């Protein structure tokens, strides 16, 4: 119905009222920025907490403890855990955070045995693993933490009473590893407040097959049930969901904020199109006398609405992606890190929804304009 030669007319109508167009596009961009940011947070939480069929990692924690400051397990538990059937490997971890409450800029130290660091699947981006092994106070810093704090190889920094030197910047497929600093376990046991040699926060246990996960978890807890420090063992995703329960609830509530943003986009674009159509009543009558059919005029109005929505949606989605990529944000609570990254799917979804809302916003004004008689248009003031 729309010929390409009609498109310049649509662009001309959009730029004709610059102030109105800029305010509308700016409002849509702000709403879509919030929508895409909310979507990115929800996707981050889903990735971190949704169980996977192929999951083979268990987290052994002190029973009835949540914050890393309060979970204290003897390091010698490792020998007894390794002896349990279907356990492939065990990594004892000492975790120290500068703030156990929820925050966006929490420093998390993870102390690991030197012989276990290669099993973590870290990729060295800068520095080297040899440099980390060469000095006791060295740290392998996740790329998100390094970017957020402006850290580079050879630089020293301190948090939670622990001072370390950056020996390498690392990346990993696990979101948890991108916002933490890995240090030597004995060093962190000595340096951390309330620490102690032979005491760790948790054990990460690899199981040979996913189908043995629950059985191994029950066996571990049964092994230490009568000890002075009993344990609670769960799959890694379930552990993250339990530790970050409050954050998960808050992010879940933001879904309503996302719907409100979409409603704001619909209202802003509809208002702009209604005002635009009212200003051009006589122009539409002239177009009809020149041979423009009512359906074509309606289609041009809907196309104008889509264009406004797409301009604002693309600007808002692009700004959200840029801010998230630049900020390297991570929601951290009780030593658990949930990386919030720019999500191309969320950005594409935002732009697509903006286009659909543009169609919805333009339908009623377009219908009214197409149904108005020519004589009435010329009599309009």
Residue 102's pLDDT is 61
Among 147-161, 211-225, 331-345, name the one with the lowest average pLDDT: 331-345
Question: Percentage of residues in the chain with pLDDT exceeding 90?
Answer: 23
42-57 mean pLDDT: 74
Residue 166's pLDDT is 94
Q: Look at the chain and report how many structural domains it folds into.
A: 2
* 339-369 residue pLDDT tens: 777 778 878 888 888 888 888 887 777 777 6
Q: Choose the final residue of a domain: 229, 263, 290.
A: 229
Residue 4's pLDDT is 65
Residue 9's pLDDT is 67
Residue 132's pLDDT is 93
d(CA 172, CA 199): 27
d(CA 74, CA 254): 40
Beta-bridge mates of residue 89: 206
Among 18-22, 112-116, 184-188, 223-227, name the one with the lowest average pLDDT: 18-22
Q: Choose the final residue of a domain: 229, 257, 282.
A: 229
**pLDDT grade for 255, boundaries at 50, 70 and 90:** confident
Looking at the domain assignment, is residue 53 inside a domain? no
Domain extent at residue 275: 4-48+246-379
Residue 370's pLDDT is 62
154 plus 277 within the same structural domain: no
265 plus 202 within the same structural domain: no
Residue 244's pLDDT is 63
d(CA 32, CA 38): 10
Whether the predicted pLDDT of 185 surpasses 60: yes
According to the per-residue pLDDT averaged within each range, which of 22-26, 111-115, 352-356, 363-367 is highest?
111-115
| Residues 169, 39 contacting (CB under 8 angstroms) | no
Name the token pair of 205. Answer: 């246990």
Q: Choose the final residue of a domain: 166, 194, 229.
A: 229
Whether the predicted pLDDT of 278 surpasses 50: yes
* 129-142 residue pLDDT tens: 999 999 999 999 98
Mean pLDDT of the chain: 81
| Three-state SS at 332 | strand
Angle value at C-alpha 151, between 148 and 156, nearest 5 degrees: 135
Q: How many residues are recorded in the chain? A: 381
Whether the predicted pLDDT of 88 surpasses 50: yes
267 plus 192 within the same structural domain: no
- Rounded to the nearest 10 degrees, the angle between the axes of helix 245-279 and helix 294-327 is 150
d(CA 117, CA 140): 10
Dihedral Cα 332, 338, 344, 346, nearest 10 deg: -80
186-203 mean pLDDT: 82
Looking at the domain assignment, is residue 95 inside a domain? yes
d(CA 173, CA 90): 20
108 plus 204 within the same structural domain: yes
* 266-276 residue pLDDT tens: 887 887 777 66
Residue 236's pLDDT is 82
The backbone torsions φ and ψ at residue 342, rounded to the nearest 5 degrees and listed phi first, read: -60, 130
Q: Which has more confidence, 39 or 169?
A: 169
| Residues 377, 281 contacting (CB under 8 angstroms) | yes
| Three-state SS at 74 | strand
Closest CA to 180 of 147, 153, 143: 143
Looking at the domain assignment, is residue 236 inside a domain? no
**pLDDT grade for 169, boundaries at 50, 70 and 90:** very high
Q: Name the pTM for this structure.
A: 0.72
| Three-state SS at 315 | helix
Among 59-63, 142-146, 360-364, name the one with the lowest average pLDDT: 360-364
Radius of gyration of the chain (CA): 29
Looking at the domain assignment, is residue 56 inside a domain? no
23 plus 79 within the same structural domain: no
190 plus 137 within the same structural domain: yes
Looking at the domain assignment, is residue 119 inside a domain? yes
Looking at the domain assignment, is residue 99 inside a domain? yes
69 plus 33 within the same structural domain: no
Closest CA to 160 of 181, 144, 146: 181
Residue 95's pLDDT is 87
E strand or H helix at 36, and its extent?
helix 18-49
Residue 69's pLDDT is 80
| Three-state SS at 103 | strand
188-195 mean pLDDT: 76
Looking at the domain assignment, is residue 237 inside a domain? no
Whether the predicted pLDDT of 145 surpasses 60: yes
Name the token pair of 59. Answer: 């987290």
| Residues 223, 233 contacting (CB under 8 angstroms) | no
Residue 381's pLDDT is 46
Whether the predicted pLDDT of 371 surpasses 70: no
Whether the predicted pLDDT of 286 surpasses 80: no
73 plus 43 within the same structural domain: no
Residue for token pair 């594409």: 348
Whether the predicted pLDDT of 1 surpasses 60: no
Q: Which residues contact 125 (CB under 8 A, 6 or more apart)?
A: 143, 168, 169, 170, 171
Q: DSSP class of residue 118? A: G
Closest CA to 201 of 310, 343, 94, 78: 94
91 plus 138 within the same structural domain: yes
104-109 mean pLDDT: 77
Q: Which residues contact 365 (CB under 8 A, 6 or more apart)?
A: 270, 273, 274, 276, 277, 301, 305
224 plus 81 within the same structural domain: yes
**pLDDT grade for 52, boundaries at 50, 70 and 90:** low
250 plus 351 within the same structural domain: yes
| Residues 221, 230 contacting (CB under 8 angstroms) | yes
Whether the predicted pLDDT of 310 surpasses 80: yes
> Distances from the Cα of 183 to the Cαs of 164, 186, 193, 206, in angstroms?
8, 9, 15, 21
329 plus 291 within the same structural domain: yes
């Amino acid at each position: 119905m729309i010929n390409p030669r009609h498109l310049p007319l649509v662009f001309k109508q959009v730029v004709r009222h610059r102030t109105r167009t800029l305010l509308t596009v700016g409002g849509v961009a702000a709403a879509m920025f919030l929508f895409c940011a909310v979507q990115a947070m929800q996707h981050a939480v889903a990735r971190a907490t949704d169980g996977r069929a192929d999951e083979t990692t268990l987290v052994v924690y002190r029973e009835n403890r949540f914050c890393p400051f309060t979970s204290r397990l003897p390091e010698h538990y490792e020998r007894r855990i390794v002896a349990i059937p279907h356990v492939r490997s065990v990594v004892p971890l000492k975790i120290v955070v500068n703030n156990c409450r929820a925050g966006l800029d929490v420093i998390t130290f993870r102390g690991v045995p030197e012989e276990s660091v290669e099993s973590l699947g870290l990729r060295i981006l800068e520095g080297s693993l040899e440099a980390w092994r060469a000095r006791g106070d060295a740290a392998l810093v996740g790329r998100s933490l390094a970017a957020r704090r402006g850290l580079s190889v050879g630089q020293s920094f301190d948090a939670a009473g622990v001072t370390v030197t950056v020996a390498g910047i690392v990346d990993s497929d696990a979101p948890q590893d991108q916002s933490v600093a890995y240090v030597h376990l004995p060093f962190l046991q000595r340096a951390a407040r309330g620490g102690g040699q032979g005491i760790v926060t948790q054990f990460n246990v690899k199981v040979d097959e996913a189908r043995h996960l629950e059985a191994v978890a029950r066996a571990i807890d049964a092994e230490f049930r009568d000890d002075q420090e009993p344990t609670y063992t769960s799959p890694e995703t379930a552990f993250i969901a339990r530790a970050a329960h409050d954050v998960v609830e808050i992010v879940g509530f933001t879904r309503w904020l996302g719907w409100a943003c979409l409603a704001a986009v619909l209202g802003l674009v509809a208002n702009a199109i209604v005002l635009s159509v009212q200003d051009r009543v006589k122009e539409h009558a002239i177009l009809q006398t020149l041979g423009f059919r009512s359906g074509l005029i309606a289609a041009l109005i809907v196309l104008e609405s889509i264009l406004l929505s797409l301009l604002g949606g693309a600007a808002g989605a692009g700004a959200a992606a840029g801010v998230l990529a630049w900020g390297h944000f991570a929601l951290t609570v009780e030593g658990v890190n949930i990386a919030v990254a720019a999500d191309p799917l969320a950005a594409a979804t935002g732009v697509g929804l903006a286009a659909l809302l543009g169609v919805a916003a333009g339908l009623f004004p377009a219908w009214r304009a197409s149904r108005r008689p020519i004589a009435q248009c010329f009599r309009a003031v």
